[in-house]
Amino acid sequence: MTVLRKNLIDGEWLGEAGSRNINPSNTNDVVGEYASAGPEEAKQAIAAAKAAFPAWSRSGPLARHAVLKKTSDEIMARKDEIGRSLAREEGKTLAEGVGETIRAAQLFDFFAGETLRLSGEMVPSVRPGVGVEMTREGVGVVGLITPWNFPIAIPAWKIAPALAYGNTIVFKPAELVPESAWTIVDILHRAGLPKGVLNLVMGKGSVVGQAMLDSPDINAISFTGSVGTGKRVAAASVEHMRKFQLEMGGKNPLVVLDDADLGTAVDCAVNGAYFSTGQRCTASSRLIVTDGIHDRFVDAVKERLDKLVIGDALDAKTQIGPVVDQTQLKQDEDYIAIGRQEGAELAFGGDRLERGTPGFYLQPALFVGSTNAMRISREEIFGPVANVIRVKDYDEALSVANDTPFGLTSGICTTSLKHATHFKRNSEAGMVMVNLPTAGVDFHVPFGGRKGSSYGPREQGRYAMEFYTTVKTAYTFAG
Ligand SMILES: NC(=O)C1=CN([C@@H]2O[C@H](COP(=O)(O)OP(=O)(O)OC[C@H]3O[C@@H](n4cnc5c(N)ncnc54)[C@H](OP(=O)(O)O)[C@@H]3O)[C@@H](O)[C@H]2O)C=CC1
Ligand SMILES: O=C(O)CCC(=O)C(=O)O
């Protein structure tokens, strides 16, 4: 029997059954039933967050620290159970689900610490006898709109700093993955958050998300998802003169040079392009490889792909789980067809796979003979699909790597200090990796990109303060 998970509005669990959550590894498995908020519930949640802001923004660091630390501790204590449920609803593997859950616990722990490190500055004014204080305050009601591909880590890296810096929240998770979102809110609620400080509105983006965008009472919106929706968030936010932060797509390059260690390069490519079923905005979807290592690299990647275990996310042996749903699967297959039509050669995979259960299984696909002008090189596919672009040398590799509308992550595999150093300086990406996969980042340092990938201040680490606070400059004449 499935339990109905409700929305949390002004400290009360409310709502009737509206949507069902389906396991992408086995579409006969219903993970749960969830309330679906509409515009009215969104309005109530925003009003509750607005009413709760004055008291929460003045609560001391200890009150905030207590809630965040308790939340971190409970998530960590329940990591296997929550990680399994995450794998069941999103389709990433058990190891990835548990790893992401641990990351969420670490994020809450980090921002619990931040509550005790809040600081300001005091300087003498240019006018004698006057003092100037610079402090940071919470922005107000923040709207958090999250995607399906990191069902617990992305909510955690938005909710934890929002609370730590004294904001109140209206949180809208992706409809595909409500269980992880509900779990994190339930833990925070029981950890002692005052009513109205955190409100959960599960429901359709086009309905409840749009109601958030249209509200004059949301002071800031942090969004992660597609470029199209990101642009809507931006336009609506400008209309309401509110702060906004966007984390969108990527078309991340992994450069492999002739002098790379082949094993390292293959590890980076396979992990970066295909783990989490390629459903990461940080995925290495363009593999830019110099002439001298190209054939050995392609053969070794194909060999590794052939050995990968693709199957039910809840089977501990699985290394690549299913695609998240039918819509994403169709997008992946459409791009595989587009790549072939464009003249790239499908060197491995790309077929639907049958497993013991009805699920969205797709064999990882590797294209060779592609150019950077092809659509498969320019548009985010968001699945287990990557293409190799052959180049003659480092200079051409760098130029191809930077020739993209996106700029989230980039990577280089090389044993040359000169090339690694030059690439770190000249790559037009927000995050650059040397001899590491482009995906899989630390929780305590800034996350974000350039160009069409991101907009606004960075997320995570101490840099998160920039978005979730506003600066006040106060002058005092003491006589
Ligand atoms: N950068 C990243 O990390 C991600 C990138 N993507 C990219 O986006 C593509 C499509 O994925 P998709 O899930 O449709 O992405 P969306 O941008 O539609 O979804 C992201 C979030 O925005 C919400 N949303 C949708 N429409 C609106 C709206 N009008 N107003 C406010 N909020 C809204 C969604 O709600 P709901 O889903 O509940 O309707 C979800 O919570 C993927 O194939 C991939 O290329 C997707 C996810 C993450
Ligand atoms: O690669 C990571 O660790 C994070 C990726 C991410 O945030 C995303 O895909 O949305």
**Residue-level pLDDT at 90:** 98
Provide the pLDDT for residue 17. 87
Which residue's entry shows tokens 């592609």?
370
pTM for this one?
0.98
State the closest ligand 2 atom to the C-alpha of 250, by its place in the atom list counted from 1.
9
> For residue 478, is pLDDT > 90?
no
Q: Give the integer Cα–Cα distance in Å for 231 and 432.
A: 25
Give start and end residues of each alpha helix (H) in 116-249: 153-164, 178-190, 210-213, 227-239
Instruction: Using the Cα atoms of residue 290, residue 293, residue 295 and residue 296 in order, give the sign of their dihedral.
Output: negative
Closest to 464 in 3D by CA, of 185, 70, 141, 160: 160
- How open is the CA angle 322-352-368, to the nearest 5 degrees? 100
Rounded to an integer, what distance in angstroms lies between the CA atom of residue 201 and that of residue 37? Answer: 6
Say whether 360 sits in a helix, a strand or coil: coil
Tell me, in angstroms, the distance from the centre of ligand 2 to residue 149's CA. 8
* Crossing angle (nearest 10°) for helices 178-190 and 153-164: 30
pLDDT tens for 22-65 read 999 999 999 999 999 999 999 999 999 999 999 999 999 999 99
Other CB atoms closer than 10 Å to residue 49's CB: what's the count?
Answer: 28
Q: For residue 276, which ligand has an atom nearest its CA? A: 2
CA distance from start to end of the chain? 71
Task: Indicate which residue's Cα is closest to atom 3 of ligand 2.
Answer: 440
Query: What's the pLDDT tens digit per position in 9-24?
Result: 999 999 998 999 999 9
Contact criterion met (CB below 8 Å) for 33 and 226: no
Task: Write down the pLDDT at residue 3.
Answer: 86
Q: What is the pLDDT of residue 1?
A: 64
- Crossing angle of helices 61-77 and 79-90, in 10° steps, is 70
Q: How much distance in Å is there from the Cα of 195 to the middle of ligand 2? A: 31
Distance CA(430)–CA(437), nearest Å, equals 15
Mean pLDDT computed over every residue of the chain: 98
Q: What is the per-residue pLDDT across 345-370, written as a single tens digit (0 to 9) for each?
A: 999 999 999 999 999 999 999 999 99
Tokens linked to 81: 């159970």
* 250-254 mean pLDDT: 98
For the residues 274-278, what does the mean pLDDT come to? 98
> What are 301-336's pLDDT values in tens digits?
999 999 999 999 999 999 999 999 999 999 999 999
Going by CA atoms, what residue is nearest to atom 26 of ligand 1?
205
Q: pLDDT per residue over 199-217, tens digit each?
A: 999 999 999 999 999 999 9
CA 222, 223, 229 angle in degrees (round to 5)? 140
**Mean per-residue pLDDT, 389-397:** 98
**The length of the chain, given as a count of residues:** 479
Q: Radius of gyration over alpha carbons of the chain, in Å?
A: 23
Average pLDDT over residues 205-230: 98
**Helix count and strand count (H, E) for the chain:** 15, 21
Q: In the prediction, which pLDDT does 2 show?
A: 78
